[in-house]
Amino acid sequence: MVIKFFNTLSKSKEVFEPIEKDHIKFYVCGPTVYSRPHIGNARSIVIYDLLYRFLQNKFAKVTYVRNITDVDDKINKAAIENKVSIKELTSKIIEDFNSDIEYLNVLKPNFEPKATENITEIINMIEKLIANKNAYISEGHVLFDVNSYKEYGELSRRNLDEMIVGARVEVANYKKNPLDFVLWKPSSKKDDASSVFDSPWGKGRPGWHIECSAMSNKFLGQDFDIHGGGADLQFPHHENEIAQSKCANIGSNFSKYWLHNGFLTVSGEKMSKSVGNFITVADLIEKNISGIIIRFLLLSTHYRKPLDFTDKSLMDATKSIEKFYSILSKESFLLSKYENPYLEKVILSLEEDLNSPLAFSILHSLVKDYKSSKDKEKLASNLVEILDFLGLLDKNYFDRRVKNNIDENYILSKIEERNIAKKNKDYAKADHIREELLSKNIVIKDGKGGVSWEMA
């Protein structure tokens, strides 16, 4: 067994050698709960869920921690804008978050700590940093002294001057260096009481970066195997985590491997509320798009590469899921398990830096082999086992289609028929097909990325 991951710290693909032989520990930055998750958030969650499933298959024990940031300036601002208490806002967003990712077949991590429930651990780590002369107190703030840590910038490969120029750092007269970051922030009179905590430095709340360091230390120890998150977190968040963790715990290496997933765009543009292309998981759920289709799409591009979310990519994901389920029925879920060489190939592909597109190509090969196979039951059973392993198994899939009166193969064939008609400039026929689908409560939309459909 040779597992390889691209380690952002070394900027190279490395053979994975765990700290403990049969116990993998990994940490992923979870949501800041001020708004419902968008598909970019969902991509990161789904990618590390696949990693969790893969590691569980390879090792006897896996401890997976994904935190919840429930105290933050963005949360305070959102609570004020929505005219609700912080507790009310965060409780609702956490409920929505859990509902949305459950729809995507995401497993629960072993631990899902909240920042507000770990204030004692956060304060203890800050006190260590002050004692080690890596942090200082200024005007009610506690700040990390970046100049006290000589390896600062190692993860993001930037020097201090580049960081100041390229980062949106808060320039404040209480900082020794513009890059010094907040470990503890004093509260103001307008702050909601639920976001204010007692500390040796006065009432206030923790900085974002220190939360993850304290919680990973509590649940995984000073050194653990993998730290994951989006590419946008490399700097400053992960850079700051490394600095404060290694300075608080002298001799610690913190995380051995750093995995970062690529950005998500919508039809080639960065997702933005102002542009109007901001898509949440809830938006897709409202359109009756199956969770396994969304999950397949989010894993269809290698995790380190950017993923462009378009009408065409959504349709391609729908076609793939339909193709897999076309050789299955409800009875397929009850079949006995057989020797599964296809699953072995899927696992081998994931051993090579979690190559999910290669794993999906194995599914397509299986379906192709099924058509000429004399042992269709075995291959159907093999497919069910692989779909389950990848989080793409939905035992209610056929019932959902009947309930929604959806025959996706029919819809896709009509869309293709309409595309041919438009290509041949037979616009009357194209309009007739659109009206035919509309009569069945199916709305088709033409976009830059192709044609999509949704229930009326």
State the average pLDDT for the chain.
Answer: 91
4-261 topology per CATH? Rossmann fold (3.40.50)
The DSSP output letter for 5 is E
User: Which tokens go with 282?
Assistant: 């809830």
DSSP bridge partners of 257 = 226
> What pLDDT is stored for residue 166 in this prediction?
46
For 75-97, the pLDDT digits (tens) are 999 999 999 999 999 999 999 99
- Of the two residues 130 and 453, the one the predictor is more confident about is 130
User: Which tokens go with 110?
Assistant: 């072993």
- Of the two residues 120 and 405, the one the predictor is more confident about is 120
Strand, coil or helix: what is 343?
helix
Domain ranges for the chain? 4-261, 265-404, 405-456
User: Which tokens go with 405?
Assistant: 């009166």
CA 54/CA 61 separation, integer angstroms: 12
> What pLDDT is stored for residue 84 in this prediction?
92
What would the mean pLDDT of 359-369 be, rounded to a whole number? 97
pLDDT tier for residue 449 given thresholds of 50, 70 and 90: low
Alpha helices in 28-170, H assignment, sequence order? 39-58, 73-82, 86-103, 119-131, 160-166
Q: Is the dihedral of CA 195, 198, 201, 206 positive or negative?
A: negative
Residue 308 contacts residue 284 (beta carbons within 8 Å): no
**Residue 424 CB neighbour total at 10 angstroms:** 10
Residue 299 contacts residue 360 (beta carbons within 8 Å): yes
What would the mean pLDDT of 258-266 be, rounded to a whole number? 94
For 421-444, the pLDDT digits (tens) are 988 999 889 888 888 887 666 888
What would the mean pLDDT of 334-345 be, rounded to a whole number? 96
Question: Which of these, 2, 8, 1, lies nearest to 256 by C-alpha position?
Answer: 8
DSSP bridge partners of 307 = 264
User: Which tokens go with 134?
Assistant: 């890596």
User: Which tokens go with 209?
Assistant: 């970066």
265-404 topology per CATH? Isoleucyl-tRNA Synthetase; Domain 1 (1.10.730)
